A = this chain, B = another copy of it.
Amino acid sequence: VPGALPEPLIDELSRFAGQLADLAGQVIKPYFRKPIAVETKADRSPVTEADREAERRMRAVIADTYPEHGIIGEEFGRTAADADIVWLLDPIDGTKSFVTGNPLFGTLIAVVHRDRPVIGVIDHVMTGERWLGIQGRKTRLNGEPVATRACPRLAQAVKYAYGVECYQGAEAAAFTAVGERVAMRRFSADCYAYGLLASGFVDLVMEDTMNPWDYSALVPVVEGAGGVITDWRGEPLGLASDGRVLASGDATLHAETLGVINA
């Protein structure tokens, strides 16, 4: 592919992404189920010192190793965000899980090359599960290849969603329309839901109000496992997407769901 990153560089960056996930896990794990101050940000989401320390440490090693790369993180914003290669960091995706003693929070790390996510890591330090997605290669969970499962119809689908929306807001009609058609629904799983989708246990994840650091890492993981992940119009996810995300393990199911959303 003209303009694509060379494979040896992809290898190097994906190893480095794994080291970043190791580092974040080492920072976060000692804070889990210990007393910690929970602050509320402007967007009403919670944040702790664990989120901030993990992102600070990751940013420092990126800046040391790849000073020419950009960084966009949930807690500390944008640095050289117009660089060719940008790191997207969400130190704790699922801070509500983290602060309530629930082990299913994750760390999200993505490499975005010219607005296209090419490497994604979904790391769950408490369960010891790491999904690694690389554009054009098979997604792996702890080194073993994984694949989405066939599920071409909404009526058979297992759907996960963030859930706090509970069908409020401008997107209520779409959530309700899709939710009423699926076989099974679960809520509040954060990025773990996309790992389960990549591993063939969940068919559909539908969310809104996501940020680039929430969804960029998911793209190579889901696509490398055989799934489809786009915005709600079916467009590829990039840094300027509107935060509405639809992932499916099956392209036919994804198309049917887009039809319901946009009916």
A-B contacts, 19 listed (Cβ < 8 Å) = A97-B186, A99-B158, A100-B184, A100-B186, A100-B196, A101-B196, A101-B201, A102-B104, A102-B186, A102-B192, A102-B201, A127-B127, A163-B163, A163-B187, A164-B185, A164-B187, A166-B166, A187-B188, A188-B189
A145 at the interface (CB under 8 A from B): no
Q: How many Å lie between the Cα of A166 and that of B196 in the bound state?
A: 23
Taking the nearest CB of chain B, how far is it from the CB of A20, in angstroms?
25
A96 B186 Cβ-Cβ under 8 A: yes
Chain A residues within CB distance 8 Å of chain B: 33, 46, 96-97, 99-104, 127, 158, 160, 163-164, 166-167, 184-189, 192, 196, 199, 201-202
Nearest residue in B to A159 (C-beta to C-beta)? B100
Nearest residue in B to A95 (C-beta to C-beta)? B184
Taking the nearest CB of chain B, how far is it from the CB of A257, in angstroms?
17
Q: Which residues of B contact A100 (CB under 8 A)?
A: 158, 160, 184, 186, 196, 201-202
Q: Which residues of B contact A185 (CB under 8 A)?
A: 164
Taking the full assembly, how many copies of this chain does it contain?
A: 2
Nearest residue in B to A40 (C-beta to C-beta)? B183
Q: How many Å lie between the Cα of A189 and that of B94 in the bound state?
A: 14
Nearest residue in B to A160 (C-beta to C-beta)? B100
A189 B102 Cβ-Cβ under 8 A: yes
Q: How many Å lie between the Cα of A167 and that of B158 in the bound state?
A: 20
Nearest residue in B to A149 (C-beta to C-beta)? B35
A186 B184 Cβ-Cβ under 8 A: no
Q: Which residues of B contact A96 (CB under 8 A)?
A: 184, 186
Q: Which residues of B contact A199 (CB under 8 A)?
A: 33, 101
Task: Tell whether A163 pairs with B188 under 8 Å between CB atoms, given A196-B100, A201-B33.
Answer: yes
Q: Which residues of B contact A201 (CB under 8 A)?
A: 33, 99-102
Q: How many Å lie between the Cα of A54 and that of B46 in the bound state?
A: 39
Q: How many Å lie between the Cα of A103 and that of B160 in the bound state?
A: 15
Nearest residue in B to A126 (C-beta to C-beta)? B127
Taking the nearest CB of chain B, how far is it from the CB of A40, in angstroms?
8
Quick one: which of A97, A102, A167 has the most chain B CB within 10 A?
A102
Taking the nearest CB of chain B, how far is it from the CB of A220, in angstroms?
20
Taking the nearest CB of chain B, how far is it from the CB of A206, in angstroms?
14
Q: Which residues of B contact A166 (CB under 8 A)?
A: 163, 166-167
Q: Which residues of B contact A97 (CB under 8 A)?
A: 186
Q: Which residues of B contact A160 (CB under 8 A)?
A: 100
New contact pairs (9) apart from A101-B196, A102-B192, A103-B127, CB-CB < 8 Å: A46-B184, A96-B184, A99-B184, A99-B201, A100-B184, A102-B186, A166-B166, A187-B187, A188-B189
